[in-house]
Amino acid sequence: MASRTSGRIAIAGGGIGGLACALGLARRGIASVVLEQAQSFGEVGVGLQVAPNALAVLDALGVGQEAKKNALLIERLVVRDSVGGETVFDVPVGAAFRERFGNPYAVAHRADIHGALLRGCEAYPSIELRTRSRVVDFESHDAGVSVRLASGEVVAAAGLVGADGVRSQVRAKIVGDGEPVAVGAYIYRALIPADVMPKDEHKPYPTLWVGPGTHVIYYPVRDWSVFNFGATVLAGSVDRGEAEAAPDEALAWFPGHHPDLMRILRLPARFNRYIIRHRPPVERWTAGRVTLLGDAAHPMVQYLAQGAAMALEDAICLANAVAETPGDVERALARYQDLRIVRATRVQMSSLMLDKFYHARGVERLVRNSVFEGRTPEEFYDRLSWLYRSPAYVRG
Ligand SMILES: Cc1cc2nc3c(=O)[nH]c(=O)nc-3n(C[C@H](O)[C@H](O)[C@H](O)COP(=O)(O)OP(=O)(O)OC[C@H]3O[C@@H](n4cnc5c(N)ncnc54)[C@H](O)[C@@H]3O)c2cc1C
């Protein structure tokens, strides 16, 4: 039996993108129901870089202060060469950066960002938060959308937003491009207790090591109690699947890497191996009253650390479009796609292009390192401006 029909929007998926969308809609007076497949709302226990364009959305959603309270506002962006150990670049992101982009650059535990959004949503009675509600299908009709759950229940809504991640069920129906593509890389992720991390690595910023076919990043989260750690390796056709990995498994990918990096890779920690996936960009996310948001729309490799930021920007853009086009969900969702598709796709493409920069070998590695020699912080900011300066629909 169908549940009550109304002007509310159904959102498949209660990750960062889905919750931000519900909160953005609520702040503009629009009701929504969030349909999350999991038993509870939550995020896996790893870190997230939260660039100024992401923080600007959290501010606009009224949860910026809470998100920043638990985040580390970093002082620099540092990249080191994994072979020679030299610094490729070291860019301060203090006062001048904050003034230029309106916000600091932060690192945080994912659960803290997701938690701030969840508490924001819980404060609005117009948001219905449902767990154990896996979306399996939908039908559009003149008056709205009927969203079918795995239980057989049908939820009626004026429109449907697929914020259901990289394996989106909603995308399967409106884009139909099958499974996401493995890019031939793994990431080994861990939380390293601060007391085992060497003291000289306790720095108030992320350290990113770039090497031939590898890159590694680590930074402190949760009041410096743990370090978020991720080691990405290009594995070619090696097929190992996703699982907990033996502590020394990742080491095999790092022959000839710098001793400062090797000592971090040898720290005792529980590593989990994940396959890195993406999808090639598509020209259409919206079909009538149904659209996609976040990873469901433009899943990207994590190299630019912007996937969640793009989901947040999508969310506020979509909420504004719906609010500014009362009673016409189809036009609102078409407008949302028009406003977002070039920027989000540019970020998706740029993320993949960083593969060449991060993982350069031989003389290409030397060229990479030389490119940044003598570049001033202002020159870095100029080149990053397209990304970190928020679009008008966020600032407005
Ligand atoms: C290793 C790694 C590091 C990253 N680092 C960064 C970073 O530093 N900064 C950054 O901005 N981004 C980063 N990202 C990207 C970021 O994690 C994602 O882009 C972001 O989480 C996408 O949010 P989302 O809400 O679109 O999707 P998700 O977070 O995947 O949420 C989807 C939600 O939908 C639910 N769901 C799925 N299917 C259904 C269904 N059929 N019905 C109902 N519910 C469903 C899921 O349970 C989940 O709760 C990283 C990604 C990876 C893999």
Cβ 15 under 6 angstroms from ligand 1:
yes
Q: Which atom of ligand 1 is nearest to the CA of 170?
A: 41
Distance from Cα 36 to the centre of ligand 1, integer Å: 12
264, 247 in Cβ contact below 8 A? Answer: no
Cβ 221 under 6 angstroms from ligand 1:
no
Distance from Cα 376 to the centre of ligand 1, integer Å: 34
Q: Which atom of ligand 1 is nearest to the CA of 41?
A: 49
From 302, 306, 318, 390, mutation site for ligand 1 pocket: most ligand atoms within 8 A of C-beta: 302
Q: What is the pLDDT of residue 6?
A: 55
Cβ 111 under 6 angstroms from ligand 1:
no
Sign, Cα dihedral of 122, 125, 127, 128 = positive
Nearest residue to 171 via CA among 127, 137, 140: 137
Cβ 163 under 6 angstroms from ligand 1:
yes
Distance from Cα 136 to the centre of ligand 1, integer Å: 18
Cβ 390 under 6 angstroms from ligand 1:
no
Nearest residue to 168 via CA among 134, 129, 130: 134
Cβ 377 under 6 angstroms from ligand 1:
no
Nearest residue to 133 via CA among 44, 10, 308, 259: 10
Q: Which residues are 90's β-sheet partners? A: 78
Distance from Cα 342 to the centre of ligand 1, integer Å: 20
Cβ 11 under 6 angstroms from ligand 1:
no
Cβ 88 under 6 angstroms from ligand 1:
no
180, 167 in Cβ contact below 8 A? Answer: yes
Q: Whose CA is nearest to atom 9 of ligand 1?
A: 305
Sign, Cα dihedral of 47, 48, 49, 50 = negative
Q: Which residues fall within 8 angstroms of residue 65, CB to CB, at 6 or more apart?
A: none
Q: What is the pLDDT of residue 32?
A: 98
Distance from Cα 361 to the centre of ligand 1, integer Å: 31
Distance from Cα 294 to the centre of ligand 1, integer Å: 8
Cα–Cα distance between 121 and 103 in angstroms, integer? Answer: 23
Q: What is the pLDDT of residue 1?
A: 37
Q: Whose CA is nearest to atom 27 of ligand 1?
A: 165
At residue 243's C-alpha, the angle toward residues 262 and 228, to 5°, is 45
pLDDT tens string for the chain (396 positions)? 344 435 899 999 999 999 999 999 999 999 999 999 999 998 877 899 999 999 999 999 999 999 999 899 999 999 999 999 999 999 999 999 999 999 999 999 999 999 999 999 999 999 999 999 999 999 999 989 999 999 999 999 999 999 999 999 999 999 999 999 999 999 999 999 999 999 999 999 999 999 999 999 999 998 999 999 999 999 987 778 899 998 788 899 999 999 999 999 999 888 999 999 999 999 999 999 999 999 999 999 999 999 999 999 999 999 999 999 999 999 999 999 999 999 999 999 999 999 999 999 999 999 999 999 999 999 999 999 999 999 999 988
From 11, 16, 272, mutation site for ligand 1 pocket: most ligand atoms within 8 A of C-beta: 16
